[in-house]
Structure 1
């Protein structure tokens, strides 16, 4: 089988929304300690991460209680690299999203905005109308290749987040799909089990098994 690691590396200079990760050396062999030990200061939404419904809905499902069946299983990587602005219903329908429970949107972000050290001025996101369409199609998890699935024009209202998380969908953000050809895979996306958290950094891989 072939494994695609779609997880962004976590380090102090990485692309991040707000304060970047910080690393403290607690113990080191070089200083005569018995081992190397570091302490990391980072947010739950650092790097490749899962947004749980609790992120935007008080009392909704937190990240440690998400259904693992939604986070592991067949997934479709959609080629949306030609899309500018918002991904629309027509874009999703034309890509054959109907009938798939886990969908990852490969956009121009993967080769562009996602590779920059700081937040871009613009990026490709998901329209609220397309978010509602995904709910009607029975999608359980939707992923995208940037800091947020929200369009850069809606980071004051967060419309797509309210639609998706309000319906109980799981959002996977910052998935690096640059080297992943569009098609069907097996997704394994396991967030850290942070109790009652709104989200968590996640190790995510796509698996293509031999026929």
Structure 2
């Protein structure tokens, strides 16, 4: 069995949309306290995280009530490193993702913008038409290797987010797929159980099991 950790490390200088994480030392052995204790200030969408439907739809499912069956199970990592711009319906057709419940897109983001500490001016996202095609095909979770699955040209209207989350499809963002070969895996993605939250940071892994 091979395990790929696709989770970004969380630290104060990391790539982040907006305010970066902050760490406060509450107690320390060096100062004579009984133990080391830190307090972290970070957003629900820090690092590798899952967007719940409540992120864009008032009254929709929050992160603590999303189905674990959507977050754990067979997944495909799709090679989209040839895409420059947005992933299109034609790209989906060529990749043969029809019938997949959990789809993770590996793009040039993983080896480029995802490794920077500041947001890039452009990145590979998912076109609204491709998002709707995935919904029509019955997908339950869609992942990408950047801060957002949205096209860098549509962060004023958030069309892909409205489509996916409005249909109850979960979005996994900031998945580090740089070292992950395209193919079939088992996804284990467990966001923190933040009550009534719009999303949550998560530990996510992909498992490749040896043939029986």
Instruction: Give per-residue Cα distances to partners, 1:78-136, cap 9 Å, x unaligned.
Output: 00001011100111111111011000000000000000110000000000000000001
Distance 1:117 1:136 in 2: 35
Q: Which residue of 2 aligns with 1:174?
A: 174
Distance 1:55 1:194 in 2: 13
Q: Which residue of 1 aligns with 2:140?
A: 140
Distance 2:93 2:107 in 1: 16
Report the secondary structure of 1:160's partner residue. Answer: helix
Report the secondary structure of 1:164's partner residue. Answer: helix
Structure 1 length-normalised TM? 1.00
Q: Which residue of 1 aligns with 2:119?
A: 119
Distance 2:203 2:104 in 1: 15
Q: Which residue of 1 aligns with 2:51?
A: 51
Q: Which residue of 2 aligns with 1:203?
A: 203
**Any stretches of 5+ residues in structure 2 without a counterpart?**
none
Computed over aligned residues only, the root mean square deviation of the Cα atoms, in angstroms, reads 0.3
- When structure 1 is superposed on structure 2, of 69-78 and 91-100 the one drifting more is 91-100
- Using the TM superposition, give the Cα deviation of residue 45 of structure 1 relative to its aligned residue in structure 2, in angstroms: 0.1
Q: Which residue of 2 aligns with 1:15?
A: 15
Q: Which residue of 2 aligns with 1:5?
A: 5
Report the secondary structure of 1:3's partner residue. Answer: strand
Q: Which residue of 2 aligns with 1:129?
A: 129
Structure 2 length-normalised TM? 0.99
Q: Which residue of 2 aligns with 1:84?
A: 84
Q: Which residue of 2 aligns with 1:66?
A: 66
Report the secondary structure of 1:92's partner residue. Answer: helix
Distance 1:210 1:94 in 2: 27
Distance 1:96 1:142 in 2: 15
Distance 2:90 2:78 in 1: 13
Matches within 5 A, 1:180-191: 180-191=180-191
Distance 1:42 1:111 in 2: 25
